[in-house]
C-alpha cells in the first residue's frame, strides 16, 4: 500500500524552501557588497568608513558603483600608502645633503623675514620733493 502525501504539506515544504532561498540570496548580496569594505579594513585604508557607506549606497544604485569601490579599496597599500611618495623619492635627483642645505637656507630667510616684520616701520622721505 502506497502512502499518499497531502498536497498541502508539499505546498508548505515548497514555501519553506522558497523562503530559505530568498533569505540566503539577500545575505549573499549583502556579503558581496561588503567585500570592498573588508579589503579596506584589512589594508587599514584611511577611507574605509566611506567605502562601507558607499557599498550600501551601491545596493540602491543597482550595483553601478560597486566595481569602483573595489578599485578604491585596493589602491591603498599597507605600509606604502597610495604609492605616490615612493615615486617622488625614486625620481628625485637631489641628494640628502642638498636638501638639508636648502632647508637651512630657507630657515635663515624665514628668520630674516620675521626680524623685518617685527621692526617698526620708518616713514619714507621724498628727497626730490619741493615744499
| Section 104-130 average pLDDT | 78
The answer to whether position 68 is within a domain reads yes
Angle at 43 between CA 41 and CA 47, to 5 degrees: 60
The answer to whether position 58 is within a domain reads yes
| Section 20-29 average pLDDT | 96
Digit-coded pLDDT (tens) for 50-70: 999 999 999 889 889 999 999
Higher pLDDT, 79 or 94: 79
Closest listed residue to residue 39, CA positions, set 84, 79, 76, 81: 76
The answer to whether position 74 is within a domain reads yes
**22: pLDDT strictly greater than 90:** yes
pTM recorded for the entire structure? 0.55
Domain extent for 32? 13-86
Give pLDDT, residue 123: 64
Other residues' Cβ atoms within 10 Å of the Cβ of residue 55: 24
Is residue 39 a contact partner of residue 69, using CB atoms and an 8 Å limit? no
CA pair distance 49, 31, nearest whole angstrom? 16
Provide the number of structural domains found in the chain: 1
Q: Which three cell numbers stand for residue 109?
A: 630667510
**92: pLDDT strictly greater than 90:** no
| Section 26-46 average pLDDT | 93
Amino acid at each position: 500500500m502506497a502512502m499518499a502525501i497531502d498536497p498541502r504539506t508539499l505546498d508548505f515544504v515548497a514555501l519553506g524552501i522558497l523562503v530559505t532561498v530568498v533569505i540566503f540570496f539577500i545575505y549573499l548580496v549583502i556579503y558581496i557588497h561588503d567585500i570592498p569594505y573588508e579589503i579596506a579594513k584589512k589594508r587599514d585604508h584611511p577611507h574605509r568608513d566611506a567605502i562601507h557607506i558607499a557599498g550600501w549606497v551601491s545596493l540602491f544604485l543597482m550595483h553601478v558603483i560597486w566595481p569602483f569601490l573595489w578599485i578604491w579599496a585596493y589602491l591603498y597599500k599597507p605600509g606604502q600608502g597610495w604609492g605616490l611618495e615612493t615615486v617622488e623619492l625614486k625620481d628625485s635627483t637631489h641628494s640628502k645633503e642638498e636638501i638639508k642645505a636648502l632647508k637651512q637656507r630657507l630657515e635663515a630667510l624665514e628668520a630674516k623675514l620675521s626680524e623685518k616684520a617685527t621692526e617698526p616701520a620708518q616713514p619714507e622721505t621724498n628727497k626730490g620733493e619741493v615744499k
